[in-house]
Amino acid sequence: MSTPTDIHAALLESAKQYQHSVTPQAVLEPFKEAILLLRAKYASYETITETLTSHGVQVSGATVRKFCRRHHAEMRRLRTALDAERRAAAATQKPHSDAPASASPPPERPPLTPEIGKRGPRIARDEL
């Protein structure tokens, strides 16, 4: 049976020999730009995890989530830039429509009630 001093000595020896491994998020640092770009394009953490795993980087979804949250400000800047590029590209393209250019807009609908601010007709109700 072990005595408290034997247990203490064994724990102390284990503590001396312990070598802290690199944090899992540090493994993702070389892939930071790609991960943040995927997240800026609204890729889920699971999708990013699957993509990394398919390229040989073994990491969990929780690790990817922590990494993305740590670099949230950078991801937001990327997302803003991507949205601006998308809007600029849409503005430079011609309007794409099946209707001819000379078609007039649809006629304006008349108001439901003759007086502004007055409630419309009641909905018929069954008596219970």
Query: If you write DSSP's letter for every residue of 54-80 in order, what string do you get?
Result: HTT----HHHHHHHHHHTHHHHHHHHH
- The per-residue pLDDT for range 1-46, each reduced to its tens digit, is 688 899 999 999 988 888 776 666 788 999 999 999 999 999 999 9
Q: For residue 125, is it within any domain?
A: no
Q: For residue 110, is it within any domain?
A: no
Residues 85, 41 contacting (CB under 8 angstroms): no
- Torsion angle of C-alpha atoms 75, 76, 79, 85, degrees rounded to 10: -120
Q: For residue 61, is it within any domain?
A: yes
- Predicted confidence at residue 100, as pLDDT, reads 58
Q: For residue 3, is it within any domain?
A: no
- Predicted confidence at residue 124, as pLDDT, reads 59
- Predicted confidence at residue 2, as pLDDT, reads 81
Domain count, the chain: 1
pLDDT band at 101 (very low <50, low <70, confident <90, very high): low
Q: What is the mean pLDDT of residues 104-122?
A: 70
Q: What is the pTM of this model?
A: 0.56
Q: What is the mean pLDDT of residues 54-67?
A: 92
Q: For residue 118, is it within any domain?
A: no
pLDDT band at 62 (very low <50, low <70, confident <90, very high): very high
Q: For residue 58, is it within any domain?
A: yes
Domain span at residue 70? 20-91
- Predicted confidence at residue 104, as pLDDT, reads 73
- Top pLDDT among 115 and 37 is at 37
Q: For residue 78, is it within any domain?
A: yes
Q: For residue 44, is it within any domain?
A: yes
